[in-house]
Structure 1
Amino acid sequence: MKKLLALLCTCAALSASAQDYKPFKVNLSVGFAAPTGQGAKGGVLMSIEPRYGLTDNFDVGLRVEGALIAKSFYANGQPVSSETKFSGSYVLTGTYFHQVNNFRPYAGIGLGIYSYAANKFGFTNSSDLEVSAGNKPGLMVRIGFKTGHFNMGAEYNIVGKTKETVTGKAIESTNSYVGIKVGVDIGGGKR
């Protein structure tokens, strides 16, 4: 309990120090999502991320993202084509900005829940198979830069594989993807 109280006091002290930047901002981004795995097809992604600056160099936030992609599926070890479907995520983030000037490189990490839609696909000499929708915990790592209110970055979303048995066939799908995006911060900026 004492350690938790010390941690909270430290965070409060850091956020109470004089800051050159306004602490609250909302990032809106669009980009390209590239799922991992053989036969996967990339698509568009969109995200919104409210952030709060604990210091000029460190933000915490909640990223809500949606990606329209065709994931990689394997049925009995053979790659099969799948439908393009929506995948979503809710990720708590921490982002460290290396510099406090107009050009600000950054790196960050996040933990959250990744959702994926049900999907149908054809398998050799059989009718369509369908796998169910679900959720999985995941990790996100990011790098990029910010200049003024504009930012550009890359994020790797690491999510475990989904394994399911449908009508006696072992189905496996990959859920990880890389996001390349550009965005704008509303709010924040220099005081």
Structure 2
Amino acid sequence: MNKFLLTIAIAITFAFSANAQSESYVPFRVHISPFTYVIPNYTKGYGAGAGISIEPAYAINDNFVAGLKLEAALFGSGTETSSSIGAVGSYVLTGDYYLGEGKSRFFGGLGVGLFSGATASIYDNGSTTAEAAGGSGFGLVPRVGVQLSHFRLAAEYNLAPKNMSYLGIKAAITIGGGMY
């Protein structure tokens, strides 16, 4: 897996240094998603939750955009005697391929990166426990969506190891990256 990540990093480096920049789009952009609806694939009984992400990206050409997604997702569950919160944080290198031309475009993409998870429980007797129950490891993020000028809608499945996978449905504001 480390050789695979090294190959991706080298490819992105060569792509930036080759000056194969976007011809009709501003190359640098940042997608900010203040709220992501997340549905965990946990077996621990967590319900849907919320996430937040920021994704700086660079358009290598009019159709391919490389970026880095930084995301945190929180899930919760509770009973009459206890409450529990699960959290997953991720650092993912991404690549998106945009279809067509214009201000509204569909895209598909894939990301690979590091996921880390933790849980915290509170019991009715006042005791609290926290642990890195999910641990950490590398995972994949396939995704699809649509870019509508400076607004982005996407669905991504965060395929993470150690029972930390979740589906994220997000709306994001895009700063930069418009046509010129």
Q: TM-score, normalised by structure 1?
A: 0.74
Q: Which residue of 2 aligns with 1:35?
A: 40
* 3-state SS, counterpart of residue 87 of structure 2: strand
Aligned-partner Cα distance in 2 for 1:8–1:182? 26
* 3-state SS, counterpart of residue 159 of structure 2: strand
CA shift for structure 1 position 129: 7.4
Distance 1:42 1:95, change over 3 A: same
CA shift for structure 1 position 184: 1.0
Distance 1:136 1:10, change over 3 A: closer
Candidates 147, 164, 167, aligned match of 1:175 = 164
Matched residue count: 163
Q: Which residue of 1 aligns with 2:85?
A: 84
Q: Which residue of 1 aligns with 2:5?
A: none
Aligned-partner Cα distance in 2 for 1:8–1:180? 27
Q: Which residue of 1 aligns with 2:23?
A: 19
CA shift for structure 1 position 31: 1.6
Q: Which residue of 2 aligns with 1:132?
A: 132
1:44 partner amino acid: A
CA shift for structure 1 position 119: 3.6
5 Å-filtered alignment, 1:25-104, equals 25-29=29-33, 30-38=35-43, 39-70=45-76, 83-104=84-105
* 3-state SS, counterpart of residue 70 of structure 1: strand
CA shift for structure 1 position 95: 0.4
Aligned-partner Cα distance in 2 for 1:42–1:155? 15
Asked whether the 8 Å contact 2:67–2:94 carries over to 1, the reply is yes
Asked whether the 8 Å contact 2:22–2:60 carries over to 1, the reply is no
User: Which has the larger Rg?
Assistant: 1
Q: Deviations over 1:136-155 (max 9, x none)?
A: 11110100001111110100
Aligned-partner Cα distance in 1 for 2:18–2:99? 16
Distance 1:13 1:82, change over 3 A: same
**Structure 2 gaps, min length 5:** 1-10
1:176 partner amino acid: S
* 3-state SS, counterpart of residue 11 of structure 1: helix
Which 4+ runs in 1 deviate beyond 4 A? 7-10, 12-15, 127-131
- Are positions 1:141 and 2:145 aligned together? no
Identical residues among aligned pairs (%): 38
* 3-state SS, counterpart of residue 84 of structure 2: coil
Distance 1:17 1:91, change over 3 A: closer
1:109 partner amino acid: L
Distance 1:159 1:15, change over 3 A: same
Q: Which residue of 2 aligns with 1:184?
A: 173
**Structure 1 gaps, min length 5:** 1-6, 72-80, 162-173
Aligned-partner Cα distance in 1 for 2:17–2:101? 19
* 3-state SS, counterpart of residue 63 of structure 1: strand
Q: CA RMSD in A?
A: 3.0
CA shift for structure 1 position 13: 8.4
